[in-house]
A and B are shown apart, each in its own frame.
Chain A
């Protein structure tokens, strides 16, 4: 079974530039998550999708971050403009649903460095 695919693997940009990350979840998984993981910390949820709808985006900095999952399969996360504090690993995960006992399957992440 193919896992969660993410690209690019690494990205280096200067502050105020834009960047986009792509994620393809496990086939059949309705729920997709984007997490931000700052060095030395646990993953922090940015946004959760159920099919093509947003379930939770309460922690997404909407002035600069946006995400979409138009067809309910793959998803993109964009930062525009980037700040130094956005340097982190951006993890995509998927699960079958949004129930109480869901287990997440993660991709390897995109490591973003903002200079």
Chain B
């Protein structure tokens, strides 16, 4: 089954507001997480990543927070713009029996930005 999951399937915000997208994971051994953005008709695109030895990581207008105690991470988007409208996935690289790592995706949250 899926090891990552998202709390809300759809999030609607006004342009200029801050957006927060949440993700829960079940494998306490997970130590690397990635957020991807998928626009309509395109493949997912890397946004930001975080390793388990960090609690917070910042990018351009995006911040990812990791709470290992409750196995939860969030993606915060500052001053949300219409171009941020997309589906956002959190993913973790899960170890496989063959020794490699398999990127595993949750269901996704659809972010809708209203002008």
Listed in ascending order, the chain A residues whose CB lies under 8 Å from chain B are 4, 33, 35, 40-45, 48, 50, 55-56, 91, 93, 98-109
Contact = CB atoms under 8 A, between A and B. Distances in A.
- Interface size class of chain B, counting residues whose CB lies under 8 Å from the partner chain: 20 to 34
A98 B105 contact: no
Q: What secondary structure prevails in chain A residues at the interface with B?
A: loop
Nearest to B41: A108
Contact of B101 (A41, A93, A102, A108): A102
B69 to A, nearest CB: 22
B19 to A, nearest CB: 19
Nearest to B2: A42
A48 B100 contact: yes
Interface string B71-115: 000000000000000000101010110101111111110000000
B100 A43 contact: no
7 contacts: A42-B91, A43-B44, A45-B104, A48-B102, A98-B100, A100-B93, A104-B103
Nearest to B90: A42
Given A41-B107, A107-B43, A101 B100 contact: no
Given A33-B103, A43-B105, A98-B101, A106 B41 contact: no
A92 B41 CA distance: 14
Interface of B: 2, 31-32, 34, 36, 41-46, 49, 51, 89, 91, 93, 95-96, 98, 100-108
B35 to A, nearest CB: 11
A27 to B, nearest CB: 17
Contacts of B32: 100-101
Contacts of A42: 2, 89, 91, 105-108
A45 B102 contact: yes
A39 B41 CA distance: 12
Contacts of B44: 43, 91, 104, 106
A68 B5 CA distance: 31
Nearest to B105: A42
Nearest to A43: B105
B75 to A, nearest CB: 15
